[in-house]
Structure formats: C-alpha cells, structure tokens
Structure 1
Amino acid sequence: MAGITDHTDTLLINVSSEIGTLRRLLIHSPDRGLGKVVPSKAQDWLFEDIVHLDMMRRDEYDYYVKILLYFLDPDKVRSRIADLGPDSDRSFFKPDHADYFKSDRVIDIQCLLSDILADEVIRTRLIAAICGIERTSFRTQQQLSQYEPTELAKIMISGTLPDLTMLFAPLPNFIFTRDIGIVINDHILLNKPAKMARTREALLAQYIFFNHPLFINYQENILEIPDNEHAFLLPDADANRDVTRSTLEGGDVMMIGKRHLIIGVSERTTLYAAQQVMRLVFDKNVVDKVTILQIPKKRDYMHIDTVFTQVKRNVWVLLGSLARTGDEAKKRDVIHFFAPKNVSEDLKIMQFTKGLEQKPVEIENLEDLLIDISKNDLGTTEPVQFIYSGNNEFPFGAREQWTDSCNLLALKDGVVVGYDRNEKTADAFRASGFEVIGAAKLLARFERGESSPETIENTFIMLPSAELSRARGGSHCMSLPLLRDEI
C-alpha cells in the first residue's frame, strides 16, 4: 500500500494520559463535504450553522496542522512556513495533493482510507457496505468501483463526486477524529456514534483499524462495544431508551492515568455503553479503575470534553457551572433573569475498581475528582488549579464553553491548543501564569529560532476560530492521539 506506509509498516500505539508529550495522532482536514452542508440539514448533520470551507481550511485549520507538525514532525514544516502561508496558492495540506507532507506522526485518516482501498477485496466490500447503508442503486455501486483509491476515499467521506454532484450525505463531523475511536494504553476502543449522521464514520473506522498495515500488530487489542443482544426484539420506543441502547463517542472517554479511565454519560453516550466498556477493559486488564461521570443530557455539553480537559499535571480547564461553587453569577446577591441553573446538581460521579465493581465509590463533585486524579494518579505535589471557562464571569462562562473554551488538546504537559475567540478564558490562563499566544506569532518565533517546541512551557496557543467554532468542536475533538510519552 502507498501513502503513509512509505514511512513505516507498523507504528507504536500507546496513550496513558491526556498530557504526556504527544508523538502521533490521527486528524482529518476539512473536506469538500463540509461545503455541502445546507441550512435545512445542518442540525440533522449535527452542525449549528453552515461554514465557509475555504476560510476554515486556509485561515484556521491550516494553523492547527502547522502547529501539530512543528511539535510532532518538525522536519516536514520547519523553514517552510512562509511558503505555505494562507496567501500561498499551494494546497500543501490536502491529503490528495502531490506535495502533501505524508507524515507518519500527523496522519490524516483519509490517507489510511486511500491505502486500504488499493486492496480489491476491501474495496469491493466497503463499497457494498456503504451503498447498503446509504440505500443506493446497484448501478451506483458499479460507478464507485471505477474510481481510483484516492478519489474513492474522498467520495466515501464527502459524499460528493469529482464533478461536485452529491451522491449521498457528507460526513462533516469526520474532522472530529476523537469520536471514532480512543486509545487506552495499547488498546483501541472503536466507538458507536449516537446519531445516524455518523454511521458511515464508524464503518470507515472499522475498516481502517482492522485492515490497515499500521495497526496489524494491534488486531487483538481492538475493542468493540457489544450491542444489547435482545434490543432488536424490543419495540422501537424501548430499543431507543438509554438503558438498552449502546452508543458511545470518543469525546466521552479520557485516558486520564495509566490505570484510570473516565467515561462520560451524556447526550451521546449511554450508561449501558459505559458499563459495557468498563467490563471490557476490566476483563482484558487494560485498567484498574473506571470513573463513570454523568453530565446533563444537553446539546450545550454534548461530551465530557466540552466541559473539562486537562492542561497540566496539576491544572484543569472546566465550566464553572459544573464545578463545586457554580458560576460566578450565582455568587452575587443580584438575581438576574438570565442566570443559569446550577447544573452541578445534575452531575453524578461513580468510581469503580476492578474486582470491587459491586462497591463503587460516589464522588461528590467534579473538582474533587480532578484533584484526586492530579494527586493520586499523576503524583503531583503542587496545588491543583482550575481555570474556568469565561474566567467564571457571567455570561461568558456559558458563551465561551459553547465555542469550546474547555475543549483543549495538550501537546505536552502545560502546553495546550485552543480557540482565539474565547478571550475571557484566555484572561484566566494569563492570571494563572500561562503565556497566551496566537498560532501565527508562535510559528514565527519557531522559524526565527527564538523558541522551540522542546523549550516552550506553560503556554496557551490560540488558533483562529471564526469558522472552526461553528462546527461545535475544539482542538481536543479534532485529534485522535495514538502515541504519547508516559508521564
């Protein structure tokens, strides 16, 4: 197979924390399907708004990829930033372009799909499976079989033919690679999306992880969530209840310590699925401790990584209204008509230990859980700090959480990537001793040799985000880490 396998036949997979130095990850650059989202279908396809595709790619996501490359595979980008800027006419970061960087550390999942489609058996099976899901005609199957692997991969993801005819719905959420799978130590958990709009994503992920040579050494370590074996016998109304449905997305799973996994129960992940994952990881001795964290089933929150992520061994960013004290607005004596309800009352946290599953420990609030992780799982001796969305000021906490102020990707301990539009959250980072810097400015420093990914510390890197934030996912969502250094 061509593409990424030009660099290596297999790769090491291991993630045992959220903050160990990132060495390898899966991403997906915004594709032409995003430009096909129309207002009448936006919410069905899980978007709140339509996006300007070229601006998202050229002016925003481009910086995300450059930052990732500078930290993970600098030889691909060092001294070339000026040639690859927003004003360049070269599509350097598109996977199908002749000058694509082809990194084996920053890997676009579209490349892996193209690779496996070179196999005629896989190609035939996957075309048939997708056409079955999308209920296309037999002639459409025949038509798809005529395309070469690179173009076929683009069609399968975007739903769009080269002449821009829409064949079936796009996969605009494929940029959020976190949701299709998660690495738990040296195991890979394949997820089961809650919404029909993401069914094809899950199918593509299955074929990639089970068929690409990069993952050949991990076939026995791929975990799949079982369905309720009797769900198909139930009336539709009962089969769709959370107690019987088995849906889980990667934004609700955090490998928080070498032997500790957090699973969120949310709008997208059911308690039944969380319990099934807990059984799987305990049975296979992948972890010793699982914390199940139930958050309100609201579109505002969606996944647990939209309300908190880790910044540093002893630092977390989170939504104040889910914290112990609640939003700053509730501390004031003035009663405001728009003051939010204290949703921290809707949180439920249960911690299970392998061998003692029948004796879970209930944890009172989110901050206590995070303090315990920092101290007991990660061994910090420093005081644990919390940086609150919107600086915990009403109404900015809720406003900036909506635009992913809590959804940050740690490149290493203390260095995270987020969105520039969350200005109050950035103020909170500054107040906590972090440098806050735009991606373009940081890249310029790297190019001049004034700083480097190896020496940078305590830094919040801001990405341009006018269009990316419309997609309702941040840098944490847009990453599927495959390898991190152990803490």
Structure 2
Amino acid sequence: MTLTNPNFKLYVTSEIGALRVLLVHSPDSGLGKVVPSKAQDWLFEDIVHLDTMRRKEYDYYIKLLMYFLDPDLIKGKLADIDSAESNRAFFKPDNAAFHNSGKVIEIQTLLSDILQQGDIRKKLVAAVCAIESCNYRLQLKLIDTDPVELAKIFISGSLADDMMIFAPIPNLIFSRDLGITINNHILLNKPAKKARARETLLMRYIFFNHPLFAAYKDNVIEISENKQHFLRPGEVNEEKTTLEGGDVMMVSPQHLIIGCSERTSISGANEAIKLLFESDVVNKITIVKIPHKRDYMHIDTVFTQVKRNTWVLLHSLTIAETEQAEKEPIAWFADKKNKDKPEIVQFRKDKKPKTFATLEDLLDNISQKDLNSTEPTQFIYSGNDEFPFDAREQWTDSCNLLALKDGVVLGYDRNDKTVEAFKQKGFSVIHITDLLPQVENGELDAQSLKDTLILMPSAELSRARGGFHCMSMPLQRDNV
C-alpha cells in the first residue's frame, strides 16, 4: 500500500520551526559491507558496526522523532517495540513491525512505492544499470524483481542471497544532502562524489513520481551542469557544478544560506542562485565560503541554529589570526593563518551584494533582522571554545544539530565540553535513555520541552562523520 499523509504539505521556512514531517533513511545492510580498502572512495572514514548503530543508537533517534511527530504510533507501545524481535524491525520498512509513519518517512518506503509502477520500474532499473555498468541479463532480472526487494537491492547493492552486484550507498543515511525544502519548493541537489550518483538518481525518481509529491512536481528545482560542460578539458575539473544539502540552510522565509565547501562548488552556488531567483522562491541568498577541508566538509559541520537567537558554531573558524595567536600556541596553528577564515557575501534581488566580516555577524543579522528576535543573539561554541576540544568535538559533530522545534535540539552524547557550554547558556540537558521512559509513562510531555539539548548515543553513528542535521531532510515545519 502506497504511503500517504492527507495533511502533508511541502513547507519549510526556517531551521527551527516545529518539525512536522521529515525524510530519513535508516542504516541498511550496505553500511555493514563497507570495507577498509573502499571506505574513503565510499566517503567513509571508518567501518562501522551495523547492529550497534541500528539497535543502540539510530533506534533511539526514530523513537524520539515518533514521540514528537507521530505519537499515536508509539505512545503506549514502547514495551512491545523494545521486545527483541520488534526492536530489530521497528524502523525497517520491509518488516512487519515497521512503524510506517507518514510523518517520519523512510526513503526506502517511497522507493518501494514507485517501483510498483511497471513503467517507472523499467526506467529506473535501466538508469541504475547504466550508471553501475550492469549487463543486460542482470537488467532483465532486476525488472522482474519484487518492488520491495528491488528497493533494498538498489540501496544495499546486494541481491537477496547477499551477493553484492554493485557498491552500497552507505551515505544515503545522510538524507539532507540530496534535497532541501525551500518554502514550498524542493531543491534537488547535485552531490560532488561519484559514490553518491545512485542516491541522486533514486531521489529524482521519488520526487517526480511518488503521489506524496504529486502537487509539487512543478516545484522541484534541479541543479544541472553548466551548458557545454562536456567541452571542458580533462576528466576532473574543480569547477564542476556540485551542491549538497549540508551546505544549504533555510534560515527565514526569504533567506537561504549556501556554503561553498569541499562538496559544493562556486558553480553550483551560482546555478542555485540563478534558478531560485528566477522562480521567485527567495529574494536573499548568502554565500558562505569555507575552507575545502575534510574537517569541515559542509557548513552544517561548522554551525547550526538552536533557537531564534542562539547558534552553535566552531569559534576558531571565525576569529582573527591575531586572536588565535594570543589564545593558543602558535605552533598548533602554523598551517592555518587567515586562510581558514570564511568569506561571506549576500546577494539580493535588484540590490548590490553585501558582505559580512564574520560568521557571528551574519548569524546575528539573521536572528535580529530576519527572525525579529527580542533577545540578544548568543553563541554556543564547540568544545566550549577550549583548545583542543573545540576541534575534536567539531569533528564528532558538536555543531551539527537538528532542531525539533525552537530551542529543542538533538546532539551526540560524546561532546562533553559542548554540553557544558549549553548548560552555561541556560539549557537543560537530558539523555535519550532518561527521556523516553519519562515521555512513555506520562511524567514528561515531549511537546512542552523548552531550551533543551537531547543527547543521543553516538559511538558508531559519529564514526560515519555526520550528525542529526545531516540525517534528516525536513519536508514540513511550522512557521517561527
């Protein structure tokens, strides 16, 4: 049965409005097949233990999302869900105990749905086989495969007998990179690495063919290569048109931030500006250029919004060189100097571009001018702005938080100094293992939480190099 949500509307105007619908992908068997020799090619720093990631970490994430977004499907059922057999199946769409929520939506479910259509199945099989260099007999076999099983194959890269026929796509867990909701439009992104080509293809077919998005087909904006890009010399060119969702933030109804980073090119940002301005989707786009380093990768590894007047960020990326030299041993920063300082320029329709000296200046402007905060803007710094904890904790996603609503965010439990910084700014901190029982037995109302950092277990998830901001594609939020 095709997934539906009669109250669904595509609508996101901020990073902090109460979350109503989001798109996720739970860890699939492909993550458990990443081998050390291919890990970096497949954009992983390390191999992960899949069962621990699923049962002891990601499982909590889905349960928390359900209590906030679709409580009727979980309230009063936690004991049954936590039974050994059900727990394995709760967030996997090919199991009988799957939650099948229309608000916490699983990508694999949408893919299975569209593969029920014979013409779509044939086209998508042909497209996947083309980019994966499959032979024709395998293509015919896949066309005749059950749609639910075929969706698993497309994602995991393995047949039912566990034989790998093409590479897994372990980065699909980071759903934000593939598409961003901007007001009532979807910006379909263009990832930089070949390892994510199949993910992009699958999402394109989902957005254009699933009934959930039928009313928004004309609102899907695709990032394309520059005209006559095929005439550029060489196989690889730094000016490729690439754009990933971790570099895109919808911060207010008319204001979008795009980061230029290791994964998003200047050409990709230019193309997005042109398309979004032409379609009148927004009237202000700020470009934040950060160093092309694996340490940062996307702007959401450097900063995310916590509430209307509060942001978490890496301070060492925003302060001047002289301040760094006074603050910490110069030897530690001998290779940094000013080249790590972001460049920030804001483009507005029919107006001259505007520049900002620091990230704090930009974020303060958003809080005060775009979001009309009645309180001064405050910043929570990674590692509580202490060296070397600031860099260590940024690496494990201290700045990559998902806001469930204004002031209530999810983060990893391993970033101790950043947790201290949250407490110093007046935030309550609660671990998910304490929160869930209280919500289930009625001691605590999830909807009543304010100014709270919810800590999630993270031993395996953090090794995948992405936080909860990366692991979510919001489709519907309330206005702030």
| TM-score class normalised by the smaller sequence | over 0.9
- SS for the counterpart of 1:33 is helix
Alpha-carbon separation, structure 1, partners of 2:83 and 2:433: 11
Structure 1 position 459, deviation (Å): 0.5
For structure 2, list consecutive stretches of 5 or more residues without a partner in the other structure: none
- Structure 1 residue 39 corresponds to structure 2 residue 36: yes
Cα distance in 1 for partners of 2:282, 2:58 equals: 34
1:259 aligns with 2:258: no
The DSSP-based 3-state class of the residue aligned with 1:56 is helix
Aligned-residue offset at 1:227? 1.2
Per-residue CA distance 1:232-291 (angstroms, 9 max, x = gap): 012116x6122xx11000000000001000000000000111011111111111111110
Distance of 1:131 and 1:312 partners within structure 2: 44
1:448 shift after superposition: 2.1
What residue is the counterpart of 1:228 in the other structure? Answer: 226
C-alpha distance in structure 2 between counterparts of 1:50 and 1:86, whole Å: 28
Aligned-pair CA distance for 1:83: 2.4
1:190–1:224 Cα contact (<8 Å) kept: yes
Task: Return the letter of the residue paired with 2:60.
Answer: Y
Cα distance in 2 between the residues matched to 1:326 and 1:153: 50
Instruction: Name the counterpart of 1:182.
Output: 180
Q: 1:285 matched to which residue of 2?
A: 280
CA distance in 1 between counterparts of 2:83 and 2:465 reads 23
More deviation, 368-377/449-458:
449-458
TM-score (norm 1): 0.95
Q: Deviations over 1:403-443 (max 9, x none)?
A: 11100000000000010111111111111111111112111
Q: Does 1:378 align with 2:375?
A: no
Give me the TM-score of the superposition, normalised by structure 2.
0.97
Q: State, as a whole percentage, how many aligned pairs show the same letter.
A: 59
Of 68, 89, 92, the match for 2:90: 92
| Equivalent residues of 2:23, 2:105 under 8 A apart | yes
Counterpart for residue 401 of structure 2: 408
Gaps of 5+ in 1: none
Kindly indicate whether residue 315 of structure 2 is the aligned counterpart of residue 320 of structure 1.
yes
Secondary structure of 1:99's counterpart equals coil
Moved more, 76-85 or 280-289: 76-85
CA contact (8 A) 2:318 2:341 kept: no
| Distance change in 2, residues 1:133/1:401 (3 Å) | same
| Cα distance in 2 between the residues matched to 1:337 and 1:289 | 38
Any conservation in 2 of the 1:190–1:206 contact (CA below 8 Å)?
A: yes
Q: SS at the partner of 2:72? A: helix
Counterpart-to-counterpart distance in 1, 2:447 and 2:165? 46
Question: 1:343: how far off?
Answer: 5.4
Partner of 1:103: 101
Root mean square deviation, CA, Å = 1.7
| Partner Cα separation in structure 1 for residue 198 and residue 332 of structure 2 | 43
1:468 paired to 2:461: yes
CA distance in 2, matches of 1:240, 1:175: 27
- How far 1:40 moved relative to its partner? 0.2
Deviating more after overlay: 406-415 vs 73-82: 73-82
Secondary structure, counterpart of 1:39 in structure 2: coil
SS where residue 352 of structure 1 aligns?
Answer: strand
In terms of mean alpha carbon deviation, does 48-57 or 77-86 score higher? Answer: 77-86
Deviations 1:374-398 (A, max 9, x none): 0000000201110011111110111
Please report how far the alpha carbon of residue 62 of structure 1 lies from its aligned counterpart in structure 2 after TM superposition.
Answer: 0.3
Mapped to 1, the partners of 2:139 and 2:446 lie a distance apart of 47
Partner Cα distance (1:39, 1:58) in 2: 23
Residues 338/291 of structure 1: CA separation in 2 closer, same or farther (3 Å cut)? closer
Amino acid at match of 1:319: L
The 2-side partners of 1:343 and 1:417 are apart by: 32
CA deviation after TM superposition for structure 1 residue 98, in Å: 1.2
Distance in 2 (CA, whole Å) between partners of 1:290 and 1:117 is: 36
Answer whether contact 1:322 1:344 (CA < 8 A) is retained.
no
* Greater displacement, 339-348 / 257-266: 339-348
Task: Report deviation, 1:461.
Answer: 0.6
* Equivalent AA in structure 1 for residue 19 of structure 2: L
1:4 aligns with 2:3: yes
Is residue 74 from structure 1 mapped to residue 71 from structure 2 by the alignment?
yes
Deviates more, 1:247-256 or 1:280-289: 280-289
